[in-house]
Amino acid sequence: MHVGFRILHPLFDGMSISWTDDAGVEVGYFENLDADNSVYRLSPFYFMLSNQRTEFRARLDRDACVENFPLLVQLRDGGHTDYLALIVAFGSAPLHPESHDGLGTTWATKCPEGFTEDHVCAMRQVLAPLALALRVVIKDQITRNALNTFHGPLVGGRILSGTIKRGDGERLTAALWYSDLRNSTALADQLSVEGFLDLLNVYFDCAAGAVIEQGGQVLDIVGDAILAFFPSEEVGEEAACAAALRAAMGAQSRLAAMKADGCSRAAEIDFGIGVHFGDVVFGNAGTAERLKFGVIGRAVNEVARNQDMSKLLGQPIVVSDTVADRAGTGQDYRLQSLGMHDLRGMPTARRLWALRT
């Protein structure tokens, strides 16, 4: 048995849940559910949606139409004898292969006689309650996907759990991470809108991608600046700081690798990173009708100042004392003192450190 449906996700167009007697339950995801995808274009579902059909059946051991569908040939060669596909729409819109809002199910059997009429009748009868139950699951998954994509999994989870009122929040200690693209105003003037967006996405792949790889949370992308954090509550302060430093090194390593591979956009990119550790308020702020979930506090300002100093000091990564004290030993990096410096808006001078590999 196989169930497939479209989802709202930045990487995937569809999701499937399959059950077989030998492999049990398996979950899969599909990219590019459109006519350019030959696997999808040659599938029974594409044929059904294109021809406004909600049911399709084929005796795999004798029907000539089997040869038109590679999937059915594969099932036949694997010993299956009968195949039934059913589609139910969520709404009144016409069926369409590239924008269908509904559910598709398939059944296949290896019984020599295939499905009986009673089997087919039972499958038709179960379709409506199955679709109703799965529609709830699908909508829930779409909501989670959207929240995770635009707010990150930590913030998305907080929102779904009910932390949605102005002032809702909690105090956390975390390693804070801030990056900013160098020379962005000039680049925006020099490049086309499309070209500048391409460049930004390469930069985000390097910087935000490294944060996610190390288990951090990307909290905000404002223009060409990225604010992320690594909470210490579960992993401890030393591990949170070490992960933030690894993400900083990883971001610069990703950029260097792209430049070495000849990426034209990467050649135009340079960015600085600041890392700090401190207390923040993690929660909602804004107007009563328009809220923003994020981190607030002096530590957020200080990590941004560290990034500012990376430009003034000519260092790609600048780290505060609070991180250096917790970074641990035996790591694949070292910290070099840059001396005491006044940071804008901070009452006293701070010792800053350069991160070295």
pLDDT digits (tens, 9 = 90+) for 273-316: 999 999 999 888 889 888 888 888 999 999 999 999 999 999 99
- Which of 277, 311, 308, 310 lies closest to 295, judged by CA? 277
Residue with tokens 């250096």: 324
| Rounded CA separation 17/41 (Å) | 20
| Same domain for 22 and 144 | yes
**329 located within any domain:** yes
CB 249 within 8 A of CB 207: no
- Which of 176, 174, 175, 178 lies closest to 317, judged by CA? 178
**258 located within any domain:** yes
| Same domain for 85 and 26 | yes
Q: What is the pLDDT of residue 330?
A: 62
| Same domain for 10 and 124 | yes
Q: What is the pLDDT of residue 251?
A: 96
| Same domain for 311 and 170 | yes
- Which of 65, 84, 98, 59 lies closest to 2, judged by CA? 84
| Same domain for 325 and 222 | yes
> What long-range pairs does 259-266 form, CB within 8 A, spacing at least 24?
263/202, 265/195, 265/198, 265/199, 265/202, 266/202, 266/206
Q: What is the pLDDT of residue 337?
A: 92
pLDDT digits (tens, 9 = 90+) for 6-46: 888 888 888 898 998 888 999 998 888 888 889 999 999 99
Domain at 246, CATH number:
3.30.70.1230
**157 located within any domain:** no
Question: Quick count: other Cβ atoms within 10 Å of Cβ 128?
Answer: 10
| Same domain for 55 and 34 | yes
**273 located within any domain:** yes
| Same domain for 313 and 270 | yes
pLDDT at 144 over 80: yes
- Mean pLDDT, rounded, of the chain: 91
Domain at 52, CATH number:
3.30.450
| Same domain for 211 and 143 | no
Domain count, the chain: 2
**101 located within any domain:** yes
3-state DSSP assignment of residue 261: coil
DSSP letter, residue 66 = G
**21 located within any domain:** yes
CA torsion 26→151→259→243, rounded to 10°?
A: -80
| Same domain for 186 and 60 | no
Question: Quick count: other Cβ atoms within 10 Å of Cβ 48?
Answer: 20
pLDDT at 348 over 90: no
Please give the full DSSP string across 234-275, using - where no structure is assigned: TT-HHHHHHHHHHHHHHHHHHHHHHHHTT-TTGGG--EEEEE
| Rounded CA separation 295/227 (Å) | 9
| Same domain for 201 and 108 | no
**158 located within any domain:** no
Q: What is the pLDDT of residue 329?
A: 62
Better pLDDT: 155 or 244: 244
Domain boundary among 151, 171, 206: 151
Q: What is the pLDDT of residue 260?
A: 93
| Same domain for 232 and 317 | yes
Domain boundary among 151, 181, 201: 151
User: In terms of residue numbers, what domain contains 283?
Assistant: 163-356
pLDDT digits (tens, 9 = 90+) for 63-98: 999 999 999 999 999 999 999 999 999 888 888 888
| Same domain for 72 and 39 | yes
Q: What is the pLDDT of residue 314?
A: 92
CB 50 within 8 A of CB 73: no
Q: What is the pLDDT of residue 199?
A: 95
**193 located within any domain:** yes
